[in-house]
Amino acid sequence: MIAVVTGATRGIGEAIANQLIQAGHYVIGTATSASGAEAIGERLGAKGEGAVLDVGDRDSLDAFLDHLKTSDEPPLVLVNNAGFNQDNLSLRMKPEEWSHVIHGNLSGPFYLIQGLLRGMVKARFGRVVNLSSVVARMGNAGQANYAAAKGGMEALTRSLAIELAARNITVNAVAPGFIETDMTRALSEAQRAAMLVRIPANRLGSVEDVAALVGFLCSEHSGFITGETIQVNGGMYLS
C-alpha cells in the first residue's frame, strides 16, 4: 500500500516515513526542493521515493497530484506532516505572515486530502493523519497564525471524519508538544530547562513517540478511531 508523508526530510516526518516502511508501506516522502527529494529517495531506497512538494503553493500541489496519477495504484494513506511558522506578535503581524501560514498549514493540506480522496473512496479504505500542535489548544504568544491554522486543521479533521467514516476512511490528528529535534537540540541549557519544567514526564518527546502513534492510526487496527486529536506532550497540556 502506498503512503504519502509530506515534509519527510528530517525529524518527525523522517521518523514517520521509517515507521510506515516497517509496516510494509511503499512511502512517497516529500520535500520542498529537488535536492531534498533526492535525499529522501536515497534514504528510502527500493521501499519508497522522494518527490518535490511545497504544500503552500497550489501549482506545486497540482503538479504533485498529477505525478501521483501516473501510478496504477493510488495512495491510500496520507500523513500531512509538512508545515512551517512565521512568528510575530499579533499587533505587528503582516498580512502575508498570516496568509502564508494559514495557507501552508491548513489550505494546502486540505487540497492534498481532497486530491487523494477519490482513490480512497474507490478502494473503500483510507487513512489520513494530520499533524497538529499543542499550541492549537493552549495557544502561544507570537503564534496566532500558526495556532489558528492548527486549530483549523483539528476542526477540519473532525468534519472530514464524519463525511468519510461510512467509506472506511478515517481522519485523525496528532498534536505533538515539545519534541527532541534539530531545533530543540540547538537551544541553550537554560532554555531546555525552562521547557522541561512544564512537562510532567520530565523529558522532551522523541520523534519515535510521535511516529509510533501515527503508524497505529494508519493501520487497519485503528478503523474505529476517527475524528480524534491525540496529544503527544508528556502531560504538558491535557484536554
Q: Collapsing DSSP states into helix, strand and coil, what is residue 59?
A: helix
Query: Distance (Å, rounded) from C-alpha 115 to C-alpha 62?
Result: 9
> Helical H runs in 131-178?
135-138, 144-164
Active-site residue 146, yes or no?
yes
C-beta of residue 29 within 8 angstroms of C-beta of residue 50: yes
C-beta of residue 29 within 8 angstroms of C-beta of residue 48: yes
Rg (alpha carbons) of the chain, rounded to whole number: 17
Q: Collapsing DSSP states into helix, strand and coil, what is residue 158?
A: helix
The owner of cell 489520513 is 128
Residue 221 in grid coordinates = 487496527
Query: Distance (Å, rounded) from C-alpha 79 to C-alpha 17?
Result: 9
Q: Which residue in 38, 44, 50, 42 sits closest to 22, CA to CA?
A: 44
Indicate which residues carry an active-site annotation: 146
